[in-house]
Amino acid sequence: MKGSERLDYKAAGVDIDLADEFIRRIGPVAASTRTDLSMDAIGSFAGMIRLDGNRWREPVLVACTDGVGTKLKLAFETGDHSGIGIDLVAMSVNDLLVTGATPVAFLDYLATSRLELENHTAVIESIAEGCRQSGCALVGGETAELPGFYSAREYDLAGFALGVVEKSEILSPDNVIAGDWIIGIPSDGIHSNGYSLVRKIFEDRNRFPLDQPLRGMKEPLGRVLLKPTRIYRPELAAALAAGGLKSAAHITGGGIPGNLPRAIPKHLGICLVEHSWPVPEIFRQMQDIGEIEDQEMYRTFNMGLGMMLVVSPDRAHALIQSLEGGGYSAHVVGWIDAEPGLRRVKKFDPPTPVTGKCGSIGTRKSTAIPRIAVLGSGRGSNMESLCEAIDRDDLHASIACVISNNSKAFILERARCRGIPAVHLSGKTHPGNESSALQDVLKHYRIDAIVLAGYMKKLSPEIVEEYRDRIFNIHPALLPAFGGPGMYGMNVHRAVLRSGAVFSGVTVHRVDEDYDTGYIVAQRVVQVLPGDSPEMLAARVLKQEHDLYWRVLEKALHPGSA
Ligand code: GAR
- In this prediction, residue 506 carries a pLDDT of 96
- In this prediction, residue 367 carries a pLDDT of 44
Residue 546 shares a structural domain with residue 410: no
| Site to substitute for ligand 1 among 545, 547, 553, most atoms within 8 A of C-beta | 545
What are the pLDDT digits (tens) for 95-127? 999 999 999 999 999 999 999 999 999 999 999
What are the pLDDT digits (tens) for 505-531? 999 999 999 999 999 999 999 999 999
- Worst-scoring range by mean pLDDT, 60-74, 96-110, 328-342? 328-342
Q: What distance in angstroms lies between residue 382's CA and the mean position of ligand 1's atoms?
A: 8
Residue 483 shares a structural domain with residue 457: no
Residue 444 shares a structural domain with residue 516: no
For the residues 170-187, what does the mean pLDDT come to?
92
Nearest-CA residue for ligand 1 atom 17 is 381
Q: What distance in angstroms lies between residue 539's CA and the mean position of ligand 1's atoms?
A: 11
pLDDT band at 5 (very low <50, low <70, confident <90, very high): low
Q: What distance in angstroms lies between residue 179's CA and the mean position of ligand 1's atoms?
A: 27
255: amino acid identity, one letter:
G
Q: What distance in angstroms lies between residue 174's CA and the mean position of ligand 1's atoms?
A: 30
Give the Cα-Cα-Cα angle 461, 463, 464 (nearest 5 degrees).
Answer: 60
- In this prediction, residue 428 carries a pLDDT of 87
Number of domains, the chain:
4
Assigned domain for 1 exists: no
Give the Cα-Cα-Cα angle 482, 483, 486 (nearest 5 degrees).
Answer: 105
- Please give all residues whose beta carbon lies within 6 A of any atom in ligand 1, as ranges: 376, 378-382, 411, 453-454, 474-476, 487-489, 492, 542, 545
3-state SS, 247-301, equals: EEEECCCCHHHHHHHHHCCCCCEEEEECCCCCCCHHHHHHHHHHCCCHHHHHHHC
CATH number, domain at 52? 3.30.1330.10
Assigned domain for 392 exists: yes
Phi and psi of 7, rounded to 5°?
-95, 130
CATH number, domain at 364? 3.40.50.170
Residue 210 shares a structural domain with residue 341: yes
- In this prediction, residue 403 carries a pLDDT of 95
CATH number, domain at 325? 3.90.650.10
Nearest-CA residue for ligand 1 atom 1 is 454
- Closest to 475 measured CA to CA, from 409, 410, 549: 549
- In this prediction, residue 365 carries a pLDDT of 33
Q: What percent of the chain has pLDDT over 70?
A: 95
As a residue count, the chain comes to: 562
Question: Closest ligand 1 atom to the C-alpha of 487?
Answer: 14
Cβ neighbours around 400 below 10 Å, total:
26
Whole-model pTM over 0.75? no
Residue 123 shares a structural domain with residue 253: no
- In this prediction, residue 389 carries a pLDDT of 95
Do 453 and 409 contact (CB within 8 A), yes or no? no
Last residue of a domain, one of 312, 345, 378: 345
418: amino acid identity, one letter:
R
Question: Closest ligand 1 atom to the C-alpha of 378?
Answer: 16
Q: Which residue has the higher pLDDT, 111 or 266?
A: 111
Do 338 and 169 contact (CB within 8 A), yes or no? no
- In this prediction, residue 43 carries a pLDDT of 54
Q: What distance in angstroms lies between residue 336's CA and the mean position of ligand 1's atoms?
A: 29
Burial of residue 291, with CB atoms counted within 10 A of its CB: 0-12 exposed, 13-18 middle, 19 or more buried: exposed
Average pLDDT score over the chain: 92
Nearest-CA residue for ligand 1 atom 16 is 380
- Strand ranges (DSSP E) for 58-180? 59-67, 102-112, 137-145, 155-166
- In this prediction, residue 562 carries a pLDDT of 57
What are the pLDDT digits (tens) for 410-461? 999 899 888 888 899 999 888 888 999 999 999 988 899 999 999 999 999 9
Last residue of a domain, one of 428, 451, 467: 467
For the residues 180-190, what does the mean pLDDT come to?
96
- Worst-scoring range by mean pLDDT, 36-50, 76-90, 482-496, 547-561? 36-50
Do 358 and 399 contact (CB within 8 A), yes or no? yes
- Worst-scoring range by mean pLDDT, 32-41, 242-251, 487-496, 497-506? 32-41
Residue 494 shares a structural domain with residue 457: no
Question: Closest ligand 1 atom to the C-alpha of 538?
Answer: 2
Residue 34 shares a structural domain with residue 22: yes
Owning domain of residue 90? 16-169
Q: Is the pLDDT of residue 355 over 90?
A: no
pLDDT band at 19 (very low <50, low <70, confident <90, very high): confident
Residue 77 shares a structural domain with residue 141: yes
Last residue of a domain, one of 467, 494, 527: 467
Which helix H or strand E contains 434, and what residues bound it?
Answer: helix 434-444
pLDDT band at 325 (very low <50, low <70, confident <90, very high): confident
Residue 142 shares a structural domain with residue 155: yes
- In this prediction, residue 12 carries a pLDDT of 73
Q: Is the pLDDT of residue 357 over 70?
A: no
- d(CA 2, CA 336) in angstroms, rounded, equals 73
Return contacts of 403-406, CB within 8 angstroms, 24+ apart. 403/373, 403/374, 403/375, 403/438, 403/441, 404/375, 404/376, 404/377, 404/455, 405/377, 405/434, 405/455, 405/456, 405/457, 406/377, 406/378, 406/456
Q: Helix (H, G, I), strand (E, B), or coil: what is residue 211? A: coil
- d(CA 387, CA 359) in angstroms, rounded, equals 9
What are the pLDDT digits (tens) for 360-385? 333 333 346 899 999 999 999 999 99
Phi and psi of 14, rounded to 5°?
-115, 115
Phi and psi of 151, rounded to 5°?
-65, 155
Residue 451 shares a structural domain with residue 511: no
Residue 365 shares a structural domain with residue 331: no
| Parallel, antiparallel or unpaired: strands 449-452 and 471-475 | parallel
pLDDT band at 353 (very low <50, low <70, confident <90, very high): low
- Closest to 344 measured CA to CA, from 406, 269, 288: 269
Q: Helix (H, G, I), strand (E, B), or coil: what is residue 341? A: strand
pLDDT band at 41 (very low <50, low <70, confident <90, very high): low
Strand order in the sheet with 371-375: 422-424, 398-404, 371-375, 449-452, 471-475, 503-510, 520-527
Do 545 and 474 contact (CB within 8 A), yes or no? yes
Q: Catalogue the active-site residues.
A: 475
What are the pLDDT digits (tens) for 120-178? 999 999 999 999 999 999 999 999 999 889 998 999 999 999 999 999 899 999 888 88
Residue 75 shares a structural domain with residue 30: yes
